[in-house]
Chain A
């Protein structure tokens, strides 16, 4: 009996070790984003059954990223907007999801920084700082949402879209520079009276 138990405990310990290693690997290869993007000044406007959200961002772009921009590497950011319904008991239910992209790219021929905003509008700027400033201002992200007075929240999340980076940078999981995202920014809708 004791021998059987010892063998069983040995097997269990081996399985536990493997499971622990597996967890470490999954954790390592998941997206351990660093909080480099800060969302602030969220404003939601409503006009003709349409909702618009505008906000500002702060991104600490280090010299590596600035160098990458100057080398013509496009930085594409993904905005994920979700409207969720909160329940006291049931889990949170996503009502609507909107995904938009904005990006900055240096055009070497024309020596300008080209920004494409969330609506596909292009802007040009010869100065990187100004271009970035322009890029970070997100205005009038349009979404439809029927606020029927329930408990709703708007969740905003921004992250650097790694898939749009050059392939070597995509698979370099050891360089933390390219793991860039924001915290989940929550805006609570006021209940209809």
Chain B
């Protein structure tokens, strides 16, 4: 396109120069070349119009398809075109006006009158000369007509010489030369036109002749009326040149007059051709300027369009877009700065992306940690809306692994009233301690599924950019506290066993020795008192021993001997030992798995449970103990339930702790020992009240490993 416009511009300039030269050269203007030149110019103008039309069409198409920079190009083109059109149009209009007036000024009335006067003067001069020759001709004709034939030649010669006539010839009516007299003796006079002779034979007749040598001759024909009536009619022809000075002047005036008249006549054509030329020049200049304005506009708008395009690319995240350098002008500096900015932006974005990736990794890592935490973590805002929580928190508050983001905590708590105390604490903390909050923690005892759970709640205020938020850490520390309690009881039991068991044997031996030594020495009454007292000591010592043994069992270190056992056989064996076996109903499912466990320990578990059931059934009209042995997901599920008095609600949560019992007799260690044995086998034990009356103990035991 650049080359086309350059070529077109050169052609336009060449055509303009040629046109200017042609219009100033009268020879060239009349030639065919001028016509060809005009045609070429018009053709070139048409080509320019087509070129501009194509450019406009392309530009409008670009605007329609919203190509970057096209609107700017249109504005620039219009601006440049206006900058060219307005002054050129003014110059054109002024030139046309000036030209028209100039051409009109050539044709002055005075000049025309002067020329007409000059021409008339020439005509009058010739008329006077003609009149003079006429008179001379008539005089000579009269003289010759009255003279004899012999004297004619002399008279003709004398009078011609006397009147200063150049040639005098006498013709008869048949165009025959009768007499000749000339300044030039060698003259052979040309035969005049027969019509002229005929006309001259009747009346005087004069004519002006222009000869090829540029001389003007006056030629007169005068009839000679002879005195001899029978002779032929004669005609005198006089030929007299107009003096060269007069002739040249007259011809010159005629020539100028002709030219002036021709010019006057063709002045409109002259105007047309000059205006046409001017118009062509105008169109060439205008169209060339418009065509060039497209090129210049594109050149100007191109870097800006590239900048705009690059900006769009950058907005889309393409920082690799580099604009070619445009030179050292302001646009070049702008492009260079833009490239530099793009490069820096790209680098910053890459760094930001890396940081974001690192943050993402850290966030994912944190989420993973939070997800795997058994501790519930919740982030609350000022309005107690949950902004973040982990799975453990969902499980705790909702019993489901569903996110609680953007839900009000009160809504969730309203569906799970177990945690109502926690929420009230949180609400109070947030509403009442808006300023200078400190980290605070609180332990809550909650009864969940007939089990006492210990929940630790920790609130930590956060000051972030979005306002105040709070991190709630909810931890179920039931296992820990229970373990701590068991550990403490174990220590107590161990110390009791150690401190109490040792003096029991000497006490018992001493009591037996006293009884043995003094029973026979005392009277019957005293002996009886001694025997009762020593027996009481011995019985109480035995009772203490049993209690200490149970403590020892509870406090013993975990030491189990595992072996393959069938739990159903073990239950059958234990039931066989009891006299109450008729009230015990056992229901076994198929394919009960063989487990790997300590048979003696499990036997103790079953015995303890059956003992408890038996104690609970005292006084019940239709006592019943039901044992279910199920296969549940390759685990043994053992359920022992009775329709006894059941466990009171106030202790059911702590029933596995030592010394917690509803019985009047007993150490309160039976279920604690059962719980410990099941835990040692990695099993689970749950105790619950049956709806109407009775208790259900559910134990799950895994198959175990050797």
Asked if A72 and B262 sit within 8 Å, CB to CB, the answer is yes
Residues of chain B lying within 8 A (CB to CB) of residue A21: 43, 46, 50
Q: Which of B472-501 contact A (CB under 8 A)?
A: none
Q: In the complex where A73-B262, A168-B266, A175-B269 touch, is A29 in contact with B38 (Cβ < 8 A)?
A: yes
Binds B, one of A32-40, A75-83, A108-116, A149-157: A108-116
Known: A21-B43, A110-B210. 20 other contacts (CB 8 A): A17-B50, A18-B46, A18-B47, A21-B50, A25-B42, A71-B261, A72-B257, A72-B262, A73-B261, A107-B210, A108-B119, A109-B208, A109-B254, A110-B126, A166-B265, A166-B266, A168-B267, A168-B270, A172-B266, A172-B268
Mark contacts of A59-90 with chain B using CB atoms, 8 A cut-off: 1 yes-contact digit, 0 otherwise.
00000000110011100000000000000000
Interface residues of A in 138-183 (CB under 8 A from B): 163, 166-175
Q: What are 20 A-B interface contacts by the 8 Å CB criterion?
A: A21-B43, A21-B46, A26-B39, A29-B38, A68-B265, A71-B258, A71-B262, A71-B264, A72-B258, A72-B262, A109-B126, A109-B250, A109-B254, A163-B30, A168-B263, A168-B269, A169-B269, A170-B29, A171-B35, A171-B38
Residue of B nearest to A31 (CB): B35
Given contacts A18-B50, A167-B29, whether A174 and B272 have CB atoms under 8 Å apart is: yes
| Known A72-B261, A171-B34; contact A108-B46, beta-carbon cutoff 8 A | no
The dominant DSSP class at the B interface is helix
| A67 to B146 CA separation, bound complex (whole angstroms) | 50
Q: Is the CB of B254 within 8 A of A14?
A: no
Cα–Cα distance between A171 and B257 once the two chains are bound (Å) = 22
Given A14, A71, A173, which contacts B50 in the complex, CB threshold below 8 Å? A14
Neighbouring B residues of A171 by C-beta, 8 Å: 29-30, 34-35, 38, 269, 273
Q: From residue A57, how far is it (CB to closest CB) to chain B in Å? A: 23
A25 to B42, CA, bound (A): 8
Chain B residues with Cβ below 8 Å from A108 are 119, 254, 257-258, 261
Measured in the bound complex, the distance between the Cα atoms of B254 and A170 in whole Å is 23
User: How many angstroms between the C-alpha atoms of A17 and B57 in the bound complex?
Assistant: 15
A1-28 vs B, CB cutoff 8 Å, 1 = contact: the mask equals 0000000000000100110011001100
Contacts of B536 in A (CB 8 A): none
Q: Which of B20-79 contact A (CB under 8 A)?
A: 26, 29-30, 34-35, 38-39, 42-43, 46-47, 50, 54
Q: Is B123 an interface residue (CB 8 A)?
A: yes
How distant is the Cα of A105 from the Cα of B702 in the complex, in angstroms? 142
Query: B8 in the interface, Cβ–Cβ < 8 Å?
Result: no
Does any Cβ of A come within 8 Å of B251's Cβ?
yes
Q: A22 to B268, alpha carbons, bound, how many Å? A: 28
A168 partner residues in chain B, CB cutoff 8 A: 263, 266-267, 269-270, 273
In the assembly, what is the distance between CA of A53 and CA of B251, in Å? 37
Interface check B658, CB cutoff 8 A: no
CB-CB under 8 A from A26, the residues of chain B are 39
Check A167–B26 contact: CB distance below 8 A. yes
C-alpha gap A29/B250 in the complex (Å): 40
CB-defined contacts of B258 to chain A, threshold 8 Å: 71-72, 108
Interface size of B in residues (CB-CB distance below 8 Å): 38
Complex Cα distance A94/B46, Å?
Answer: 38
Q: Does B122 contact A (CB under 8 A)?
A: yes
Contact B30 A170 (CB under 8 A): yes
Please give, as numbers and ranges, the residues of chain A lying within 8 Å of B29 by CB-CB distance: 167, 170-171
**Does the CB pair A172–B265 fall under 8 Å?**
no
Instruction: Kindly list chain B residues whose C-beta atoms are within 8 Å of the C-beta of A166.
Output: 262-263, 265-266
> Chain A 106-145 against B: per-residue CB contact (8 Å), 1 yes, 0 no?
0111110000000000001000000000000000000000
Chain B proximity of A165: nearest CB distance (Å): 8
Task: Give A122's nearest chain B residue, CB to CB.
Answer: B210
Please measure, in the bound complex, the distance between the C-alpha atom of A90 and the C-alpha atom of B4, giving whole angstroms.
Answer: 45
- Cα of A169 to Cα of B272 in the assembled complex, Å: 10
Name the B residues within 8 Å of A110 (CB-CB).
Answer: 123, 126, 208, 210
- Residues A169 and B266 in contact in the complex (CB < 8 Å), given A17-B50, A21-B46: yes
Q: Contact between B272 and A172 (Cβ–Cβ < 8 Å)?
A: yes
0/1 string, B273-284, CB within 8 A of A gives 1: 100000000000
Q: Which A residues touch B38, using CB under 8 A?
A: 29, 171, 173
Give the Cβ gap from A130 to chain B, nearest Cβ, in Å.
13
Query: In angstroms, how far is the closest chain A Cβ from the Cβ of B268?
Result: 8
Within the assembled complex, what's the spacing in Å between the Cα atoms of A186 and B42? Answer: 37
Q: Pick the contact of A67 from B122, B210, B265, B268 — CB < 8 Å?
A: B265
Asked if B43 and A22 sit within 8 Å, CB to CB, the answer is: yes
Q: How far is the CA of A183 from the CA of B250 in the complex (A)?
A: 42
Chain A residues positioned under 8 Å from B263 (CB to CB): 166, 168
Q: Which residue of B lies closest to A21 (CB)?
A: B46
Nearest CB in chain A: distance from B99 CB, A: 13
Q: Which of A72, A167, A168, A170 has the most CB of B within 10 A?
A: A168
A107 B273 Cβ-Cβ under 8 A: no
Residues of A within 8 A of B207 (CB): 124
**In the complex, A18 Cα to B48 Cα: how many Å?**
10
Nearest chain A residue, comparing its CB with the CB of B247: A109
- Return the contact of A25 from the options B43, B126, B268 (Cβ within 8 A): B43
Measured CA separation A174–B122 after assembly (Å): 38
Q: How far is the CA of A58 from the CA of B310 in the complex (A)?
A: 79
Residues in A whose Cβ lies below 8 Å from that of B47: 18
**Assembly CA distance A168 to B268 (angstroms):** 9
Tell me the complex Cα distance, A124–B205, Å: 14
Distance between Cα atoms of A174 and B275 in the complex (Å): 12
Chain A residue, CB-CB nearest to B26 = A167
Please, which residues of chain A bring their CB within 8 A of the CB of B269?
Answer: 168-169, 171-172, 175
Give the docked Cα–Cα distance between A72 and B679 (Å).
143
Partner of B35, one of A29, A72, A111: A29
Nearest-neighbour CB distance to chain A for B125, whole angstroms, equals: 10
Bound-state CA distance A169–B273 (Å) is 9
Q: Which residues of B contact A68 (CB under 8 A)?
A: 265
Docked pose: A109 CA to B265 CA in angstroms: 18
In the assembled complex, the Cα of A163 lies from the Cα of B32 at a distance in Å of: 9
B175 to chain A, nearest CB (A): 18
Judge whether B54 and A107 touch: CB under 8 Å. Answer: no
Measured CA separation A68–B264 after assembly (Å):
10
Determine if B30 and A109 form an interchain contact, defined as CB atoms under 8 angstroms apart: no
List chain B residues, Cβ under 8 A from A163.
Answer: 30
- Chain A residues within an 8 Å CB radius of B26: 167
Q: Chain B residues near A29 (CB, 8 Å)?
A: 35, 38-39
Max count, chain A CB within 10 A of own CB: residue among B123, B250, B251, B269: B269
- How many angstroms between the C-alpha atoms of A48 and B578 in the bound complex? 176
Are the C-beta atoms of A109 and B251 separated by less than 8 Å? Answer: yes
Query: How many Å lie between the Cα of A108 and that of B112 in the bound state?
Result: 14
Quick one: closest A residue to B262, CB to CB? Answer: A166
A109 touches B261 (CB 8 A): no
Query: In the complex, which residues of chain B have a beta carbon less than 8 angstroms from the beta carbon of A173?
Result: 35, 38
A163–B473 CA distance with the chains assembled, in angstroms? 114
Give Cα A17 to B210, complex, Å. Answer: 58
Q: Chain B's nearest CB lies how many Å from the CB of A46? A: 28
> Is B254 a contact partner of A107 (Cβ separation < 8 A)?
yes
- Compute how far the CA of A171 lies from the CA of B35 in the bound complex, rounded to whole angstroms: 8
Which A residues are in CB contact (< 8 Å) with B208? 109-110
| Assembled-state Cα–Cα distance A10/B285 (Å) | 27
- Chain B residues near A172 (CB-CB < 8 A): 266, 268-269, 272-273
A55 CB to closest chain B CB, in angstroms? 24
Chain A's closest residue to B123 (CB) is A109
Closest B residue to A162 by beta carbon equals B30
A99 to B664, CA, bound (A): 161
Cα A182 to Cα B331 with chains together (Å): 68
A-contact 0/1 string along B174-206, CB 8 Å cutoff: 000000000000000000000000000000000
The verdict on A73 contacting B43 (CB below 8 Å), with A168-B270, A170-B30 known, is no
CB distance from A159 to the nearest CB of B (A): 15
C-alpha spacing A169/B250, complex, angstroms: 27
- State A67–B46 Cα separation when bound (angstroms): 37
Chain B residues 82 to 128 lying within 8 A of chain A, measured CB to CB, are: 119, 122-123, 126
